[in-house]
Amino acid sequence: MNPYFYHSFDGMPVLMMAVNMLSMLVSMGLTALLFISRWFLFKKMGMPGWKGIIPFYSDYVLFRTLWNVKAFWAYIIGMIVFIVLYTFSMVVWITGVIYLSTTGMEPNAGILIPFFVFLGVIVVAFMVYELIIVFKLYRRLASAFGKSTGFAAGLTFLTPVFFPILAFGKAQYRGAPPQQNNK
C-alpha cells in the first residue's frame, strides 16, 4: 500500500458534498413550494392561509372540512403506530448488529429472519393503511375542486406537482362533497 495514500485526492468527496447540497436545496425548495401551495389552497377554500402551513393542524382542518374528525384521529394513530414500529425495528436491528459484532457470534437466522419479515409486513401494512386514508382525503379534496379520482392519485403520489396545480390553477372550490355511508 502506498504510504502517501491519505494525500491522494480523486474528487469524490467534493462530488458527494455537491450532490448532498443539491439534494438539500431541492428538498428545501419543494418544501417551500408545498407550504406556499397549501397557503393559497386554504385561501381558495375560504379559510385563512396560515391554517394551511401549520403541521398536523392543517391536516386536522382538511379532515374536518372535507371528511370528518374521526378519520383524522385514525390517521394520527396509524402514523404513531407506524413510527413506533419502524423505530422499534431499527433499534432491534442496530442493537442486534452491535451485540453480534462485539460477541463474535453468528446470527441465528432461524429466529432473526422470520422476526424481521413479520415486523416488515406489519410496518408495510401500516404504510398502506396511511396511504389509503390520505388517498381518501385527497379524493375528497379533488372532488371539492371538481377534479377526478386520477387527480386525487396525483395529489397522493406526486404531491409537489399536483398541490401547486390545484392551488394556482383555475379550479374553484365548490364545497365539501357530501358524506357517504361508506366512510
- From first to last of the 183 residues of the chain, give the pLDDT tens digit: 555 555 555 666 778 888 899 999 999 999 999 999 999 999 999 999 999 999 999 999 999 999 999 999 999 998 998 889 888 888 887 887 777 777 766 656 566 677 778 888 888 888 899 999 999 999 999 999 999 999 999 999 999 999 999 999 999 999 888 776 544
Look up residue 51 and give its amino acid: K
- Residue 10 has what pLDDT? 62
What's the rounded Cα separation, in Å, for the pair 70 and 76?
10
Q: Is residue 47 part of a domain?
A: yes
d(C-alpha 163, C-alpha 38), whole Å: 7
Quick check: is 44 in a domain?
A: yes
Tell me the three cell numbers of residue 151.
Answer: 387527480
Which range marks the domain in which residue 124 is found?
Answer: 10-168
Structural domain contains residue 111: yes
Please enumerate in sequence order all residues whose Cβ is within 8 A of that of 57, keeping only pairs 6 or more positions apart, or say none.
51
Task: Please state the pTM of the whole predicted model.
Answer: 0.79
What total of structural domains would you count in the chain? 1
- Residue 3 domain flag: no
CA distances from 40 to 30, 45, 60, 156 (A): 15, 9, 17, 18
> Reduced to 3 states, what is the DSSP secondary structure of residue 25?
helix
Residue 21 lies in a domain: yes
The C-alpha cell of 40 is what?
393559497
Q: Is residue 179 domain-resident?
A: no
In this structure, is residue 177 part of a structural domain?
A: no
Contact 152, 160 (CB under 8 A): no
Residue 65 lies in a domain: yes
